[in-house]
Amino acid sequence: MFEFLLRMGDNTLVLGHRVSEWCGHSPVLEEDIALANIALDLIGQTRMWLGLAGEVEGQGRDADALAFRRDAWDFRNLLIVERPNRDYGHTLMRQFLFDLWHHERLADLCLSDDDRVAGIAAKCVKEADYHLERSKDLIIRLGDGTPESHARMQDALEAIWPYTGEMFENDALDQAMFEAGISPLPGSQKPRFDAALEDTLAKATLKRPENGFARKGGRKGVHSEDLGHLLASMQFLPRAYPDARW
Amino acid sequence: MVEAAQIWQWLSEVPDPEIPVLSLVDLGVIRAVEVMDGMVRIKVTPTYSGCPATTFINLDIEAKLRSKGIEKLQIEPQIAPPWSTDWIKPEAHEKLREYGIAPPRPGQPYCPRCGAADTELLSQFGSTPCKSHYRCTACLEPFDAFKCL
Ligand SMILES: [Zn+2]
């Protein structure tokens, strides 16, 4: 259960941090505000997941301790969320693919037999709903935009695509969570994800990559070097000044 | 001994930190007030998960009740059921409009200045997580609208 909650909370923590890196650098003011708000939502969701994880673990670690005092190999996030921002097209494509998966995942978890999990999911799904609405809209506008924006979005899709395979992997932990009535199997989301994806890509005039190769490992703690860099900047302050308070 | 009704009354005097024309009670974030053996227990629900005002809301509740002489106080977060804009009190909608913010309604918001229904979305996110940015195509004024959640 602890590990399952880390998988949920680490996704939103790492992506929330990545998105916040745009703060003050976005191409236009409205986008800057939007990304900052999305980052805030994701970090807020993290507090609930990691807060519950700390409670379940029972070792006295709270959400902050879990966020700031763990090393890369203890993180259980999907590799997609640690991908660097690169250009705005990559950032938006990563967000869209994540939102599409995240929204379905949360909708499934609303039906969890565990009231705490269902409660957090019901809170988060409302936010995931407008995150998805926004990223879908932007993918369509930019994909079906100028030749330049189209090419960049297709390029971003090709680059991030291999990181979607891991989302639908069912491992022993997923099986245990499924049998305990806590969570449906992630793999069961795949047909819904594919259908929604096809719909948006068609409107965006983008082509789904043929490549079936999937990069995996994040959910088991095997990460890319990028996560280490991200954690170094995210964790620096509380680690350098352990008693720092706002 | 203090009664729950009195606590509700005091909380209705505590303004929301970001939209001060609304009280915490107007906003619908106070989910329960219990008084037992001199202990006041208040359940507060967050509006948006990432809303930075959540911490300040708890501080403001505490400051208000301490100033009224409440000593034993417990403020607990309540996540489920999730907060909804439907919990904003109907009388608060008028206060929002007067303040220049379009109250939440499904579909396009009406212009809080001239009342026109012809409005266009400028940005899904406004000055705070709970608002979107719109423009009235009748009077051309930009305005914030409460997002439906
Ligand atoms: Zn108007």
Task: Evaluate if residue B129 carries a pLDDT over 80.
Answer: no
Chain-chain contact of B46 with A44 (C-beta, under 8 angstroms)? yes
Q: What is the pLDDT of residue A102?
A: 98
- CA angle A149/A134/A183 to nearest 5° reads 120
Q: Delineate the domains of chain A, giving CATH numbers in brackets.
A: 2-207+217-240 (1.20.1260.10)
Distances (CA, A) of A149 to A18, A33, A134, A192, B1: 22, 22, 17, 27, 67
Average confidence score pLDDT of chain B: 92
Of all residues in chain B, the one with the smallest CA distance to A134 is B124
The token pair that represents A167 in the structure block = 């989302």
Q: What is the pLDDT of residue B95?
A: 95
Instruction: For residues A153 and A209, give the distance between their C-alpha atoms in angstroms, rounded to a whole number.
Output: 12
CA-wise closest residue to A195 among A72, A59, A104, A88:
A104
What band does B54 get if pLDDT is binned at 50, 70 and 90? confident
**Pick among B79, B85, B120 to test the A interface (most A CBs inside 10 A):** B79
Rounded CA Rg of chain B: 17
The token pair that represents A119 in the structure block = 């409660």
Residues of chain A with C-beta less than 8 angstroms from the C-beta of B133: 30
pTM to 2 decimal places:
0.92
Instruction: For residues A189 and A100, give the distance between their C-alpha atoms in angstroms, rounded to a whole number.
Output: 10
In the sheet with B119-123, reading across from the earlier edge strand, the strands are B101-102, B142-146, B131-136, B119-123
Q: What is the pLDDT of residue A246?
A: 66
The token pair that represents A52 in the structure block = 């519950």
Dihedral angle at the C-alpha atoms of A43, A90, A205, A169, nearest 10 degrees?
-60
Instruction: For residues B136 and A226, give the distance between their C-alpha atoms in angstroms, rounded to a whole number.
Output: 44
- Domain coordinates in residue numbering, chain B: 4-83, 101-146
Please check whether residue A95 touches B, CB under 8 A: no
User: Which ipTM score applies to this complex?
Assistant: 0.83
DSSP A52-100: HHHHHHTSS--HHHHHHS--GGG----GGGGS---SHHHHHHHHHHHHH
| Encoded amino acid at B52, one letter | P
Q: What is the pLDDT of residue B135?
A: 95
Chain-chain contact of B124 with A34 (C-beta, under 8 angstroms)? yes
- Which residues of chain A are under the pLDDT cut of 50? none
Instruction: For residues A205 and A69, give the distance between their C-alpha atoms in angstroms, rounded to a whole number.
Output: 44
Q: What is the pLDDT of residue A146?
A: 97
The highest-level CATH class for domain B4-83 is alpha beta
Tokens 């709970």 belong to residue:
B130
Of all residues in chain A, the one with the smallest CA distance to B83 is A123
